[in-house]
Amino acid sequence: MSALTGLVRHDGRAGIRNHVLVLPSVVCSTHAASEIASAAGAVAITHQHGCLHVGDDLRHTEQAFLGTATNPNVGAVVVVSLGCETLNGKLLADRIAQTGQTIELIGVQHSGGTARAIQDGLAACARLSAALDALTPEPIDPSAVTVGIDDASDALAGPLREALEARGLRVALADDVTGPEAHVELACQGSQLIVSLPGEFEGPTGFPVCPVVAVGRDVDLHRALADDFDVHEEAASHGELAQRVADRVLTAAAGEPTASERRGARDFVLRRLAVTM
């Protein structure tokens, strides 16, 4: 088994991926963000949020963006603001910067429209990528990697936790959400890798900044979607399956792309707390 390497960040945490994240603070700037990311080889989040939130829902959404932007797999961030949104892009950028994360802020209104914002974003990505490319992966202990499990109520979660911990990895369990919504929360808490245990009638999803190791169970739909899963149950006991998942987690942590990464699945499904105004 190959030793793990990672990108050690300013706060000592280690990234198993080295993304420049282009983060739109509002749905209105998602197109500019996607154009920037695709031309720069960076990762963008496409989402429908950032405006006309109220109360806790606003703080929760801002926290989700902040947490994703400061995940250890993210080496640097370009926040793309529109300029008039409820979730203030400048304040979000300030909060991200306060964590010590490397960040640049682009505003579509500030730059003078989409075309100039894309130019400014590409220049920012070029500066940030140059700095990230200069980083050398260092050997890391498995305990530097936290694996998030997206369904704590699944009978596999317990054996899986044991198998992962036996390999020296840390484990986080999603609290009161499952599936894609749990991915956001796990990434925000610092998980660098997510193990997804989709329900019987669900297909696997990906996440923008974390590899997702999807576990297919012995149910018709999962067998039918075999290519989108990383590990298959194939009549294994929970103990055996947990061992195989944990081994696959290690290869993914060492850099081998997961099925979600191969197909470019970057779903960002945010749990909302209140209706949009």
The answer to whether 274 contacts another protein (rule: CB under 8 A) is: yes
Residues 206-235 that bind another protein (CB under 8 A): 206, 220-221, 224-229
Task: Answer yes or no: are the C-beta atoms of 22 and 42 closer than 8 Å.
Answer: yes
> Within 13 A of 108's CA, how many CA atoms are on the CB side?
23
State the minimum distance, in angstroms, from the CB of residue 155 to another protein: 20
204 touches another protein (CB under 8 A): yes
177 forms part of the interface with another protein (CB under 8 A): no
Measured distance CA(47)–CA(241) in Å, rounded: 34
Q: Minimal distance in Å, beta carbon 169 to another protein?
A: 26
Residues 101 to 140: which contact another protein by CB under 8 A? 108-109, 112-115
32, 34, 58, 94, 165 from 269: Cα distances, Å? 20, 17, 15, 24, 28
Q: In whole angstroms, give the CA distance from residue 39 to residue 30.
A: 14
Tell me: does residue 189 bind another protein (CB under 8 A).
no
| Residue 277 binds another protein, judged by CB under 8 A | yes
Among the residue ranges 14-22, 95-103, 238-246, 261-269, the one whose residues contact another protein (CB under 8 A): 261-269
Site for another protein (CB under 8 A): which residue of 19, 53, 95, 167?
53
What 3-state DSSP class applies to 218?
coil
Report how far apart the first and last C-alpha atoms of the chain are (Å, whole number): 52
Q: How far is the CB of 134 from another protein (least distance, A)?
A: 31
Q: In terms of Cα–Cα distance, which of 66, 93, 71, 69 is closest to 81?
A: 93
* Residue 98 interacts with another protein (CB under 8 A): yes or no: no
CA distance 102 to 42: 15
**Site residues, another protein (CB under 8 A):** 27-32, 35, 46-48, 51-58, 82-86, 88, 108-109, 112-115, 179-181, 201-206, 220-221, 224-229, 259, 263-270, 272-277
